[in-house]
Structure 1
Amino acid sequence: MDPSTGKYRYISKTVQGGPRIADRALAELVSSTKQGQSAATIEMIVNEFLTRGESSGIGLRALASYRMLAKNHIIPRLGLKRVDLLTVQDLDRLYQQMVSDGVGVSTIGHCHALIRSTLSQAVKWGWVDRNVAKLASPPASGRSVVIAPSSEELGQILSLASKRSPQLANVFALAALTGARRGEVLALRWSDYDSVAKVLTISKSVGYTSGAGVFVKSTKTDSVRSFGVDEVLEGVIVSQIEALQKSVDAGFILVADPYLFFGEPDGSKPLHPDTPTKFFRIICDSLGLPYHLHQLRHFTATQLIAAGVDVRTVANRLGHADASVTMKVYAHVLEAQDRAASEYLGSRVFIPKPIDRA
């Protein structure tokens, strides 16, 4: 039975000769059916994988990204290829062609990840014997150097933003002070701030897709993390609480646990994720600065590393599941710190010059 269609496939071969020749022909037929287990195409298995994706734990935003990659890159180039005939060479040629077509290395990497995941699932379903994508060689991405605004530039951004939208200026300030992702900042509720213990807890994230709209989910690594709140961060949080209280003065009734960064006056809905992203770009364009919202996260990391905070603490603050991720992303900053450490030690160690006995 073909797993992709649910229908039996019949093959036959007419041979001339005795039982020994017939047995040899039968063995060849059995071998051929094992090598070609399914007549399914790449388009069919990718679509099947994406159809089942939501129920298998793939996030809505990731699923939307996968669908875009499949539609724009994988299916047009590889969709008609039978999955049982797909080879490592087919994938390597695909990636080389994408490079020639000007597709970015990062996008090719994401396509490879989707193909690899799809084929892994196809193996589990019994559609193919092995995952050839595990042996393919997508182009390696060079190490990128993260760019972050300086403290002075961040001050300019917050100053101009506060004149145009105090709430969005607070979004930017809290992101820079915590290193939290955009969705994590927007998912914060009043109850996430413990004013007695001076602790802010992040446990959720806000996402958006055109199909699902705005939704709340777990954080990227499914982690819950807390931050100590100093006077500056407390000022940002209190400012938002006071803004919500002004809604009450205006006649609105707040929900039981309102969002700190609210899209409705009663605090029932968070800000749309695209709102701070677009506004940040407008502010930076006005100032002639080349930054986007995610670089506030880089600001947090680079400032902490430059201040000598250990990498594990920085990783925990950023919500990285493993400190090695932090070390990889901010390797150039750590290298600069290492050079500074060498220079400091060089200034503290006196090595006497050899005595000239001539």
Structure 2
Amino acid sequence: MAKVKGNGTIIEKRRGVYEIQLSCGKDPATGRYRRISRTIHGTKRDAARALDKLRTELGGGLSIDSQTITFGQWAKEFMTSRRESGRVGASTLANDQNMLDLICSILGDVPLCKLDARMTKNLFPEIRKRREAQGYRCSNSTLQHYHALLKTCLKAAVNLDLLMRNPLDKIEAPRRDTVARRALDADEAGRLLHCIDVSEQAALEALADKESRQRPSDIQDRDFLRGIRDVSYILLVRLALATGARQGELMAATWRELDFASSRFTIAQAMSNGGEIKQPKTQSGIRSIYVDRSTMMHLAAWKQLQAELLATIGVAQDDSTPCFCSSVGDFLDKSGFQKWWRVWRTKNGFETLKLHELRHTMATQLLGAGIDVKTVQARLGHANASLTLNTYSHALPARDEAAANVIASLYSAHSEPVPIEAQIA
């Protein structure tokens, strides 16, 4: 913390230009006297006001570095600290860096201490303008991500006494866009399950045919398996429909997470967009959910067959082996799955279906069937029930008619019947 010495000095350099100087005592590291100087354009009264503001800021606890560091320099320091903390995933760091690069192209040269609410408020229309000029869509939800990152960045500056206050505390975040969440109805989900059954059988038969045509010499020397990915892909979709798990959670699943005795799937890790296997962001993301017996039977048969196939390329299946594996027994690639999924869904009449919409399907169907919100929340891995209600409130009116009939039957059971003639009269 800088220690302010004296009232400071105002020096007139030329007409309309003043230099203000303020002594901050000795630097404890070097033993040298420190002095801050600023050039002020205006009247002597303007210079006096600037000196008073500088004295107040330093006297209030701001670091002396706050007067010299630019936002761009602080953003670089902020990102370095995030990387070294080890608490942020690689893909998140990459996205944050891209967003901060754009912010720095606008505010990078501005002294950190000069940032105010008006300047940061004007930032977001400029971000939208520049992104759209580059050919990118910039929704309110995207701007909300920029707002959250910048607010975190400036909060860290406040914590290190580089800012008196966070200017974004006074700026309301852009309102998130309303997203239309599509969910399959019961008939569509049934048809999808039938397509999964047919595709799984076809993939297994194709895999068996490829294996039967392998020559003994080829089997002995090979180091990958043709067709094992296709079976993995379709079984991943089967488990997605049954559990509503996210794509990253399914792609990171190993046999350790599947308990066939209790018919439960424990979700304890997830794959990032960059292919990194990591733990969920929150403790609520780690969950154990029940899986129907039919789905578990398919997975149990696949586990046995997978072990036999991997053994032919010298890979021993164990608890850490991915349930849905690549041709060499490793985790699947997200981009490879997405390419397969686009072809498969189109072939089976679900041209626009996103895998994440199977998650919406499960939640919507369960709530519509009267399953309590807490149970649905636990299966989805939401932090609280209010998030589940806010996200899937559209599914609740489906039970409204049934609720009205229940109320009517309860009341009528305790009321005295009135003749029809009397009601008409």
Task: Return the TM-score normalized by structure 1.
Answer: 0.82
1:171 to 232, 236, 248: 236
In 2, distance between residues paired with 1:354 and 1:134? 67
Change beyond 3 A, Cα 1:38–1:228: same
Equivalent of residue 277 in structure 1, options 316, 323, 338 = 338
Distance change >3 Å, CA 25–CA 357, structure 1 → 2: closer
Given the alignment, which residue of 181, 189, 206 partners 1:146? 181
C-alpha separation between the residues in 2 aligned to 1:252 and 1:46?
Answer: 49
**Equivalent in 364, 369, 372 of residue 302 of structure 1:** 364
Q: Does the CA contact (< 8 Å) of 1:42 and 1:83 recur in 2?
A: yes
Deviation of residue 186 (structure 1)? 1.8
The equivalent of 1:240 in structure 2 is: 302
C-alpha distance in 2, partners of 1:31/1:219? 44
Q: CA deviation at 1:147?
A: 0.7
Q: Which residue of structure 1 lines up, in the alignment, with residue 259 of structure 2? A: 194
Is the 8 Å Cα contact of residues 249 and 271 (structure 2) preserved in structure 1? yes
1:276–1:149 distance in 2 versus 1, CA, 3 Å: farther
**Aligned residue among 258, 268, 273 for 1:203:** 268
Equivalent position amino acid for 1:39 in 2: T
Residue 273 of structure 1: how far off its partner (Å): 2.7
Q: What 5-or-longer segments of structure 1 have no aligned partner?
A: 14-22
Does residue 89 of the first structure (1) align with residue 118 of the second (2)? yes
Which amino acid is 2:37 matched to? I
CA contact (8 A) 1:92 1:138 kept: no
Could you tell me which residue of structure 1 aligns to residue 287 of structure 2?
225
| 2:243/2:291 contact within 8 Å kept | no
68 and 11 in structure 1: CA distance in 2 versus 1, 3 angstrom threshold: closer
CA distance in 2 between counterparts of 1:25 and 1:131 reads 20
- What do you get for the CA RMSD once the two structures are aligned? 3.3
**Larger radius of gyration between Structure 1 and Structure 2:** 2
> Deviations 1:105-153 (Å, cap 9, x if unpaired)?
1110000010011011111122111111121123212433311233145
Q: Quick one: distance in 2 between partners of 1:88 and 1:48?
A: 22
1:216 equivalent among 268, 273, 277: 277
> Contact between 1:221 and 1:320, CA under 8 Å: does it hold in 2?
no
Identity, in percent, stands at 27
TM-score normalised to the size of structure 2?
Answer: 0.70
**Rounded Cα–Cα distance in structure 2 between residues aligned with 1:74 and 1:12:** 26
Matched, 1:313 2:375: yes
d(CA) in 1 for partners of 2:304, 2:351: 31
Structure 2 letter corresponding to 1:30: R
Q: Alpha-carbon deviations, 1:197-252, whole Å to 9, x = none?
A: 3322221112242xxxx322112324431122322221232143033223245242
Match of 1:11 in 2: 37
Distance in 2 between residues matched to 1:291 and 1:99, nearest whole Å? 29
| Counterpart position of 2:169 | 134
Q: Is the 8 A contact 1:161 1:168 kept in 2?
A: no
Indicate the larger mover: 103-112 or 150-159.
150-159
After superposition, the Cα gap between the structure-2 partners of 1:347 and 1:250, relative to the gap in structure 1 and judged at 3 Å, is: same
Unaligned runs of 5+ in 2: 3-28, 40-47, 204-229
Structure with greater contact order relative to length (CA < 8 Å, sep ≥ 6): 1
Measure, in 2, the Cα distance between the counterparts of 1:141 and 1:252. Answer: 50
Residues 269-293 of structure 1: CA deviation (Å, up to 9, x unaligned): 2112333333222323333521212
Alignment partner of 1:104 is 2:139: yes
Q: Secondary structure at the match of 1:220?
A: coil
* 8 Å Cα contact 2:242-2:292 kept in structure 1: no
User: Counterparts of 1:60-79 in structure 2 under 5 Å?
Assistant: 60-71=90-101, 73-79=102-108
Give the alignment partner of residue 262 of structure 1, picking from 325, 347, 368.
325
Contact 1:261–1:271 (CA under 8 A) maintained in structure 2: yes
**One-letter code aligned to 2:84:** S
Q: Would you say how many aligned residue pairs link Structure 1 and Structure 2? A: 339
1:58 aligns with 2:88: yes
CA shift, 1:354, in A, is: 10
Give, in whole Å, the separation in 2 of the partners of 1:167 and 1:283: 13
Question: C-alpha displacement at 1:172, in angstroms?
Answer: 0.8
Q: Structure 1 residues 233, 129: CA separation in 2 closer, same or farther (over 3 Å shift)?
A: same
Are 2:147 and 2:173, in contact at CA under 8 Å, matched by a contact in 1?
yes
> CA 1:103–1:354 in 2, change beyond 3 Å: closer, same or farther?
farther
1:310 to 1:10, Cα distance in 2 relative to 1, 3 A: same
The one-letter code matched in structure 1 to 2:365 is: Q
